[in-house]
Structure 1
């Protein structure tokens, strides 16, 4: 059944949630910090106990967040003024003997500016088994990571490609004047539509595969959480499987997305890529890029094939020990072996339609511990790339400074004349925490970057103090300065 939430039902449901304070703040207040944290660890007992004295709000917490069964009388009181028959008709509730359970996942979700409710399908744990093929995923770790990695600057138009439950479009509506959301799944579009109606948002919804629904249109920003699971070309679950082999789904989005951007427009997506024996992953992903596209590929993790398969089987509610699980795992691992797959990379891709002959393309690892949102850093990265494109020929005339957030670490070992410095490493203490190893001359050069003298004068002084010529030093200094500028470890002074 494809649920159809009317405006009237959504208005009544919103009234019930507002009356009971079924929102992120209200749930936290009702449960308390300890029980709320335990719930996040899939340890529900504390939350069950805390919700017992929370009245109607407690009923909604047990019903929608804990997967509990409640009496019709309690649910009717908690959802008033929503008629139970209407909630049952759209699948919001389902019967369990004389009790009622949630038929859909409805949970609060918010940011620093406010709160929403997101409607999706119940996960495998609450279903008690494998999810159906048309399963609509809720707000999970992947979608949250894309939310945090997305640039939040005002734009006119934003496309959420493959919207699922609609959570990316919710956040996009904060900074975009008009939002369009697409999906190939009618069920996903129905639940996304219910989410938007419940939150009183006007979002254009279109059905179709990939970019077909928006053919010949362009947007200022595109976000995409595609079905990026890699493996044999099959579709078991529409939320994660594309029907394309290997990492072709990620490759398709990267290849086609820039054509749907306005000049200077930005696209951001989650992606996976194969690590093939004898092949550099950076070479693989850069081959996907169309001309005239700035690109920043950030690899956050590399999964072993065996771990990867087991993780996604459990995600769908399949026990890897079961006959079905072993059969699917075997076929999956055979495909990896036949294609010489040594690992599966996962990360974020930021693209900008630049229409230039020599775009900037950078692939780098960010597998260190990092909890800050990547979105602001992605925006600054694009700014710094644009500055280098405009002023790259003027670096020698530019005055630079090292930000206060950048520190120099030195490591010394015993030598013939006492302690001798063996490692000099720059650390950026904010953002992704980039690091760069530098030599003695680079350390001396950066010590002079205080925003007073242009780079050419600093190189002249360095040549005088250490021997050689400024021209010789330029050859090594200019590429280093460009890289440090891109990483925000030195910045131009206007």
Structure 2
């Protein structure tokens, strides 16, 4: 591990913040300076258009070349951009590093925004910026996993929020929008030091505590917990603290799911990323459901499944290891041997939403591997609301008036027959949110056609039984589970 911990003092962060604000080094300022095409090229890993656009952008261009492009910049230009922050202080703190008579970034400091504004996130330089491998205690920047958890987290106002394993602090930044008090923990002293820099730079008061898993907050409870744990699945080893737990298989994800609900207030909600093994002869839903403690609503959403060879190759590349090298071959062999010895057919990845409840818990595991654009966080909050309604009104579904939302459409797939077109599939499709789909038979299709917010379900079932010469009691027994599932997926709304 690296021994030199950056010291981003409150005074240094205040001066750096002033310099960034004066230069407009924020999410909007960078886009305006670079222009849409150069900014898009930078996102694709093509730096030259951004480098050209930044040359005439003054202090903002200096910060872009330093922190976004990893360029060596003349000292006089850096000094001018930093304003009241002395170069010597910035170098001593690890923010900058000397490169001959020029200076390079010593840390990754870049804007990160949401619909309400912009922050700055402090992290370590990656292997490309360093020109070599990163150390074991490397603090990752804002990556795809972080962004996906941000989008999967509900944003309703809460009193207290815990960011478990904060890393660079980005989850806590977003949590500060809707939580009155935020606590952030990490096992890594380096991560906490950089997260502290993130919070000071953004003038946020966040409680920071060091320790493993939930130990730093023993005997405390929170209204909301977010966690991006080290969920890489495989042999028990730690190559990088940000991704490896030292636990075997999917034990890291299992640990968080098992322990998290005990640290929630009644009705409190947890959101985390997780991975789980797909073992030969075992249903993945049964596996993850066994992790749950009593009194926990749970929604497991599987976003992807990777077969072992692809999974190993992906994480070798993440570590900057050439799979053809001696090191890459040895690690791949050991990893795949472990998968084979444990009958692993694949690795699932997705989001988990948990809620502490005194009622009879609802546990749902489902695939959501189709592409969709809407953030899952709002859907998770609505899912919990619908589950709570069903818990209190599940026995009264027949007396309830429902309507099909305007965002739900019926798709039909037909094939030619001797009598014209014949419907082979009728599929209900929700066009917003995750885009849920349900295939329906003829009777279910006719029932939903009547759900227009006027008649209670019992009346509709009575009319349907008469029209199709069906037994009304049997029709109701068959329909109620379907109705409950459609309510959970937001494809039927309660009117009265």
Q: Hey, what does 1:346 align to over in structure 2?
A: 349
Q: Hey, what does 1:482 align to over in structure 2?
A: 484
User: Which of 22, 26, 29 pairs up with 2:29?
Assistant: 26
User: Counterparts of 1:21-420 in structure 2 under 5 Å?
Assistant: 21-356=24-359, 358-420=360-422
CA distance in 1, matches of 2:276, 2:474: 40
Q: Hey, what does 1:430 align to over in structure 2?
A: 432
| C-alpha distance after superposition, 1:226-278 (max 9, x if no partner) | 00001100111110000000000000000000000000000000000111111
Asked if 1:11 corresponds to 2:9, the answer is no
TM-score for the superposition, normalised by structure 2: 0.98
Asked if 1:450 corresponds to 2:439, the answer is no
Contact 1:109 1:116 in 2 (8 A): yes
CA distance in 2, matches of 1:129, 1:313: 15
CA distance in 2, matches of 1:93, 1:393: 64
CA distance in 1, matches of 2:192, 2:116: 25
Contact 2:164 2:228 in 1 (8 A): yes
CA distance in 1, matches of 2:355, 2:307: 31
Contact 1:129 1:318 in 2 (8 A): no
CA distance in 2, matches of 1:277, 1:382: 32
Q: How many residues align?
A: 493
CA distance in 2, matches of 1:365, 1:250: 18
| C-alpha distance after superposition, 1:24-61 (max 9, x if no partner) | 11100010000000100111111111111111111110
CA distance in 1, matches of 2:103, 2:120: 21
Contact 1:233 1:243 in 2 (8 A): yes
| C-alpha distance after superposition, 1:290-332 (max 9, x if no partner) | 0110000000011121121121122122222222222212211
Moved more, 453-462 or 125-134: 125-134
Contact 1:425 1:437 in 2 (8 A): yes
| C-alpha distance after superposition, 1:53-93 (max 9, x if no partner) | 11111111011001111111111111121111111111111
Contact 1:294 1:352 in 2 (8 A): yes
| Structure 1 residues not aligned, in runs of 5+ | none
Contact 1:291 1:355 in 2 (8 A): no
CA distance in 1, matches of 2:441, 2:132: 57
Contact 1:124 1:315 in 2 (8 A): no
CA RMSD of aligned residues (A): 0.8
Moved more, 310-319 or 202-211: 310-319
Contact 1:426 1:435 in 2 (8 A): yes
* Displacement of 1:383: 0.3
CA distance in 2, matches of 1:71, 1:232: 46
